[in-house]
Amino acid sequence: MARNVDPSVDAVPFPVCDVDLLRRWRRHAESGAFAELVDRHQADLLRVAHAITGDAGQAEDAVQESFLSLCREADAVLAAAGERRSLGGWLCAVVRNRCIDDLRRRHPQPLPDQIAQPQPAAADAGSLWEAVAALPPLERAAVVLRYRDQLDYRAVAERLGKSVSHVGVILHQAMQRLREHPRLRSEAAS
């Protein structure tokens, strides 16, 4: 009957989903809830942003911007959440689009080659990045997420908003292009 319950089962962890966190922030200005959202998603968003821009600073900017977009559009996001629990996809799409827009705006500016400087181990990574940076943004992001971050096709597809088979095609094209690059050709020869 009503009170005949086992208290021990209360020990089961009780995860809070993204949507609930956002709702808490939205309704009660609970900044802790939003901070939790940031902590949950920042690594992944930074990875995606960095894969597209190749620049840690730009990546940080894009990620901050995307979280601020989430603030501004919280009501719409919550209204559209439906049965969705995670906001990772939404944030990722915002970061991705923002980074790609940034690149287009800067075009034909060459990509700043500044990753190499703070990292002494990557003496020749600069030229490797040059090869990668020459790829179209989507291919570049796919290659970096797949081979640097070792994400599988499905994970790459989720982050880029593409289908898994499309990711296969993108990666193949990217690899064809990359192998033309002298830096990689010499690598293969050795």
> Interacting stretch for other proteins, rule CB under 8 A, among 67-75, 95-103, 104-112?
67-75
Residues 146 and 150: their CA atoms lie apart, in Å, by: 5
How far is Cα 60 from Cα 44, in angstroms, rounded to an integer? Answer: 12
- For other proteins, the closer of residues 34 and 90 by Cβ is 34
Binding of other proteins by 143 (CB under 8 A): yes
What phi-psi label fits residue 54: left (phi over 0), alpha (psi between -120 and 50 degrees) or beta?
left
Q: Binder to other proteins among 62, 67, 95, 161 (CB under 8 A)?
A: 67
Indicate the residue among 29 and 108 with the shorter CB distance to other proteins. Answer: 29
Residues 105-124 that bind other proteins (CB under 8 A): 115-116, 119, 122
What's the min distance (Å) between Cβ of 171 and other proteins? 6
Record the tokens describing residue 34, joined without a space: 């939003």
75 contributes a contact to other proteins by CB under 8 A = yes
Residue 163: count of CB within 10 angstroms of its CB? 12
Query: Considering beta carbons, is residue 108 or 111 the nearer one to other proteins?
Result: 111
Task: Spell out, one character per residue from 35 to 54, where the chain touches other proteins: x when CB under 8 A holds, - when not.
Answer: x--xx--xx--xx-xxx---
CA proximity to 16, closest of 37, 47, 43, 41: 37
Q: Counting contacts by CB under 8 A, is residue 85 touching other proteins?
A: yes
Burial class, 70, CB count within 10 angstroms (exposed 0-12 / middle 13-18 / buried 19+):
buried
Q: Which amino acid is at 150?
A: Q
Count the residues of the shown chain that bind other proteins, applying the rule CB under 8 A.
76
Taking CB under 8 A as the criterion, which residues in 148-167 touch other proteins?
Answer: 148-150, 152-153
**Cα separation of 21 and 119, whole Å?**
36
Figure out which of the listed residues 15, 108, 120, 182 binds other proteins, where binding follows CB under 8 A.
15
The nearest distance, CB 34 to other proteins, in angstroms, is: 5
Report the alpha-carbon distance of residue 176 to residue 52 in Å, rounded. Answer: 19
